[in-house]
Amino acid sequence: MEHNPAASWIAQAADAAQQQGAGNLLRIVLVVMVLGCVLTAWFLLRGYKRKDD
39 within some domain: yes
50 within some domain: yes
37 within some domain: yes
25-36: pLDDT as tens digits: 889 999 999 999
Number of domains the chain is built from:
1
48 within some domain: yes
Which amino acid belongs to residue 40?
T
- The whole-number pLDDT of residue 15 equals 74
- The whole-number pLDDT of residue 1 equals 47
32 within some domain: yes
Asked if pLDDT for residue 9 goes beyond 70, the answer is no
| Structural domain span for residue 47 | 22-53
Cβ partners under 8 Å of residue 12, min gap 6: 4
Vertex 49: Cα angle to 48 and 53 (nearest 5): 135
17 within some domain: no
> Cα separation of 41 and 35, whole Å?
10
- Whole-model pTM over 0.75: no
